[in-house]
Amino acid sequence: MSSLCAFSASFASPRLMVLFLKEAAMRIDADNMHYRELNARIREAVAAGETHLDLVNVNGQRYLGDGIQGAVEMVVHGVPGNDLGAFMDGPTIRVRGNAQDAVANTMNAGRILVEGDAGDVLGYGMRGGELFVRGRVGYRVGIHMKAFRDKMPVVIVGGTAGDFLSEYMAGGLLIVLGLDRRKGEPLVGEWCATGMHGGALYLRGAIEEWRVASKFAAVRPAEDKDLAGIRPHVSAFCEAFGLDEAAIMQEEFLKIAPISHRPYGAKYAA
């Protein structure tokens, strides 16, 4: 790759160079490959200075991008296995398909774009970066999400979400857009915001009050300043998936925020 890089540096137009680099993305065929070998290859490639990886024929291999650091772009063709981008710190992963459970587990920085649906426990303990899922997601999305200083994790779900959304959420931003809802399909499942003590959850559309754990969080219509805050993120989401931002932002949003940063403070006999 190093010789190609040297060659690309001679291109006069920066735009052309980018195109060239994209063309030259390193291709790894994951067909019938165990995750351990696949991930070892990815780590080797990144260590060797590769910045663009195309993973083709991915079929359930776990831990893709696990612990990878730096400005690396990966495109996953197929369905990656659980823990996609776990402990990841910087890279961008685009999944041209569905993803499974535990995407962005404890992710520190970076960006994961899933063009299809994704499973349960997404963004567990996520501290920074973005997770955009175009389709639907399962249970326990955004559990233990945290914000710290300049780190502000953002999870945006294009479709609907399952039970225990934003459970134990301690920081960051979680948005559910509810696009392409089937008739009667709820926007979120039950027990939403259980244990939530930080961050904010936005829902595009209405929900029944009983779905939200009122002991922990309060639901109210999003105000203009709230919408101004989420707009850049929704805009990035729309850009990533080719959606109409104006149409999406036209709908009413609900904001769900924690009542207390100390949810269990009064429980003890101190």
Q: Looking at beta carbons only, is 220 or 261 nearer to another protein?
A: 261
HSE (side-chain half, CA atoms, 13 Å) at 114: 30
Q: Shortest Cβ distance from residue 151 to another protein (Å)?
A: 8
Pairing of strands 217-221, 130-133: unpaired
Q: Looking at beta carbons only, is 201 or 248 nearer to another protein?
A: 201
Q: Shortest Cβ distance from residue 32 to another protein (Å)?
A: 19
Checking phi first, is residue 214 left (phi over 0); if not, alpha (psi -120 to 50) or beta? alpha
Q: Shortest Cβ distance from residue 178 to another protein (Å)?
A: 24
Q: Looking at beta carbons only, is 28 or 68 nearer to another protein?
A: 68
Q: Looking at beta carbons only, is 159 or 198 nearer to another protein?
A: 198
Q: Shortest Cβ distance from residue 45 to another protein (Å)?
A: 14
* 115 DSSP 8-state letter: S
Residues in the chain: 270
φ, ψ of residue 95 to 5 degrees: the values are -105, 115
Where do contacts with another protein occur on this chain (CB under 8 A)? 35-36, 39, 43, 62-63, 66-69, 82-83, 86-89, 101-102, 105-106, 108, 121, 124-125, 127, 140, 143-144, 146-148, 151, 164, 167-168, 170-171, 195, 197-198, 261-270
Q: Are 126 and 156 in contact (CB under 8 A)?
A: no
Exposure string over 163-174, b if 16+ CB within 10 A, otherwise e:
bbbbbbbbbbbb
Q: Looking at beta carbons only, is 161 or 234 nearer to another protein?
A: 161
